[in-house]
Amino acid sequence: MNLDAGTGDNPARKRVATACEACRATKIRCQPSDQPGVCKKCLESKRECISRTTPRPRRPRKYASHQDQQLQQAQAAPPGPSSTFSIDFAVSTGSEIDDNFETLRDTHDVVIDRLFPEDDEEMSPFPDSGRSIQTPTSSSAQSHSIHDFHTKPSFNVASAESLLTSFHSMLTYFPFITLSEDTPIRQMAAAKPFVLLSILSSTSGSKTLQGHTLYDEEFRKVLGLKFVAGGERSLELLQGLLIYCAWYPFHLRPKNKQAFQYMRMAADMVHDLELDQEQPDLNMWSDTPNLTDDQLDRIRVLPSFLATWKRGKGIEVPYTSWTARCCELLEKYGKTQGDLVLAAQTRMSSILSQASKTLNEKYDQGEEDRRIMVAGFKFELAQMESSLAFPLSISVSLRVQVLFMKAFLDSGTLLRFPRPPSSESHKWEPCPLSNAKLHDCVYSTAAFYQELMSLDDAALSCFTIVDWSRPILATILGIRLSFRIPECPDWDSEWARSQLKLDDYLARMSQQKSDLTPASKKVDILSASRTVMSVVREKYQKRLAAVERQGKSPARITCPMLDGSMEPYFPVWDAALNQPLMMEALGEGPDGQPVFQDLWTAMTTGWAHDEM
């Protein structure tokens, strides 16, 4: 469509020089719009506005055959009115966990096998450990049109109020926002709509794995429209994203990488909003800063990010002096008890991150330097625990975090990541494991197990994804302590099993309620986590039975050069080799005749009579 503007700035004098193809096809008047190059009709219908640029074809003056006429029309006539088309994107939908958790069990079955130490085939009780996990390919995954997102959902007020009430209990485990208990749903939907949507999505996802579809799809749609399409970077968007990542059950979907993508988005927003930089305009370095609610919300975000997520590739928000200052401000001028808990969680997460880097990553320091650093982390943790301004018993999440850190600092490299390749500048030298450190680790891990077994279902249901990672890592640690440790040959695994009582812990964590019938059985995060723990317990019991069978079976006959039984005879062998050649090979018999000495038979006589 060509628009000719008249003289002056009067928009009423705009006129259409050439009608567009869409208006010609519908035989309506092509009127100009406020946007240049698009007519009013095409702008309203979101249609591409195209005008004819070639002259109309002339009629032929002489008669010709029908075939010649068709050829002339094809060569001279321009294309007719342009037709429209739409690009439809297929959005894949994640496979949900079924009612009986068979998919969940199959997913974790082979992965859990890798937790146990490798041994001989006769020792391994897992003949099927080599099979691969059957997962649907991308071509077989279900998909739906992106146009389904345009439907505006309607939420039930009573259901939303119930979820919001449940979230108040969950918020004590990660108190990085303040939420009044008497705030009505409609008021919060008007004031902070994205925060409310993230609360409903994450809370419904923790209550039932299949009933969160409506909230979850709406959350992802709005997040994409705001962050990607709209380029929005706001504090409310960051708060909602942190809520979603904290309580959404990503740990039950080990192949789902969306949690990493969301946290990268959150890290980008922290940098874009400059929340990781000092803010002198707020006058926070004064002795008596007057902080508003909005300023406190901005201060809480940076510690909450560090307490929510570990340092990883592409997710870098370091603990700086500004972060420490934010924790001090929350402790001194925070308005709720949750501010004190959040500051303590952030400081302890920083200690854990530094300790993990010291034990598991490339470091220039030697073994003794790293031992001193780990001892310093232990002292810092003990000092922090003793200087808390509130009793540790009021926060379940913080109490579990402290017990796990004690076990982690005693574990050495038992919970190490895959070893990095050595280079000329960085050579990987893991700290050797000692019996004394491993004994302390057993006691710390057993105390952690006792704490988890004392928690009821209501407390476990409020766990964040970081809270769930601690029982998972502690279970891996207990499994490695319960069997032989190649780095510590003198380790008494039988004593460790008697102290840990790992089977009792796994039985408690995998115990489902017996009063539930198959029809009333819940499909929530707690039930799914117990299903995974039941798989771990089955694997542990099979492995333990195999160890006991090996202990009762007679030892196999092995080569004396390989099992070390020939070492006492090496001095005799060396003495014999030092003799002259003739004296070494010849001897005098009873009748004075020379005889050949069989040195191999003489030195292995004791081995032949030893009990195998």
HEC sequence for 360-413: HCCCCCCHHHHHHHHHHHHHHHHHHHHCCCCCHHHCHHHHHHHHHHHHHHHHCC
Residue 460 shares a structural domain with residue 543: yes
Q: Is residue 588 part of a domain?
A: yes
- Domain total in the chain: 3
Q: Is residue 43 part of a domain?
A: yes
pLDDT digit string (tens) for 542-586? Answer: 999 988 888 776 555 566 666 666 666 666 656 555 554 444 444
Tokens 């029908």 correspond to 66
Q: Is residue 356 part of a domain?
A: no
Residue 462 shares a structural domain with residue 590: no
Q: Is residue 192 part of a domain?
A: no
Residue 569 shares a structural domain with residue 495: no
Residue 448 shares a structural domain with residue 509: yes
Average pLDDT score, the chain: 74
Contact between 237 and 226 (Cβ < 8 Å) = yes
CA atoms within 13 A on the CB side of 288: 0
pLDDT of residue 446: 96
Phi then psi for 241, rounded to 5 degrees? -65, -40
Residue 456 shares a structural domain with residue 593: no
What confidence tier does 497 reach under pLDDT thresholds 50, 70, 90? very high
Tokens (6 digits) for 338: 């949750």
User: Of 56, 74, 93, which closes a domain?
Assistant: 56
User: Of 56, 74, 96, which closes a domain?
Assistant: 56
Contact between 275 and 301 (Cβ < 8 Å) = yes
How many CB atoms within 10 Å of residue 528?
19
User: What CATH number is associated with residue 38?
Assistant: 4.10.240
pLDDT of residue 381: 94
- Cβ density class 264-303: b for 16+ within 10 Å, e for less: bbbbebbeebebbeeeeebebeeeeeebeeebbbbbbbbb
Contact between 464 and 174 (Cβ < 8 Å) = yes
Q: Which domain holds residue 476?
A: 395-417+430-513+521-553
DSSP assignment, residue 4?
Answer: E
DSSP assignment, residue 312?
Answer: B
Task: Provide mean pLDDT across the span 215-241.
Answer: 88
Higher pLDDT, 559 or 264: 264
Residue 543 shares a structural domain with residue 498: yes
Q: Is residue 216 part of a domain?
A: no
Going from the C-alpha of 461 to that of each of 73, 208, 531, 608, the distances in angstroms are: 74, 11, 15, 63
Amino acid identity of 113? D
Cα gap 221→609, rounded to integer Å: 78
Rounded to 5°, angle at Cα 406 from 494 and 114: 50
Residue 468 shares a structural domain with residue 599: no
Residue 544 shares a structural domain with residue 482: yes
Q: Is residue 128 part of a domain?
A: no
Residue 566 shares a structural domain with residue 476: no
- Concatenated DSSP letters of 557-580: P--HHHHSTTGGGHHHHHHHHTS-
Q: Is residue 368 part of a domain?
A: no
Residue 589 shares a structural domain with residue 526: no
Residue 546 shares a structural domain with residue 564: no
492: Cβ–Cβ under 8 A, 6 or more apart, which residues? 435
pLDDT digit string (tens) for 381-394? Answer: 999 999 998 999 89
Task: Provide mean pLDDT across the span 4-31.
Answer: 71
User: Of 22, 38, 56, which closes a domain?
Assistant: 56
Tokens (6 digits) for 533: 């723990």
Cross-strand partners of 178: none
pLDDT of residue 121: 42
pLDDT of residue 172: 92
Contact between 13 and 7 (Cβ < 8 Å) = yes
How many CB atoms within 10 Å of residue 261?
12
At 369, is the secondary structure helix, strand, or coil? helix
pLDDT higher than threshold 60 for residue 277: yes
Q: How many residues does the chain have?
A: 612
How many CB atoms within 10 Å of residue 336?
14
Residue 507 shares a structural domain with residue 594: no
Amino acid identity of 32? P
Cross-strand partners of 16: 3
Q: Is residue 325 part of a domain?
A: no
Amino acid identity of 385? E
DSSP assignment, residue 12?
Answer: G
What confidence tier does 50 reach under pLDDT thresholds 50, 70, 90? confident
What confidence tier does 217 reach under pLDDT thresholds 50, 70, 90? confident
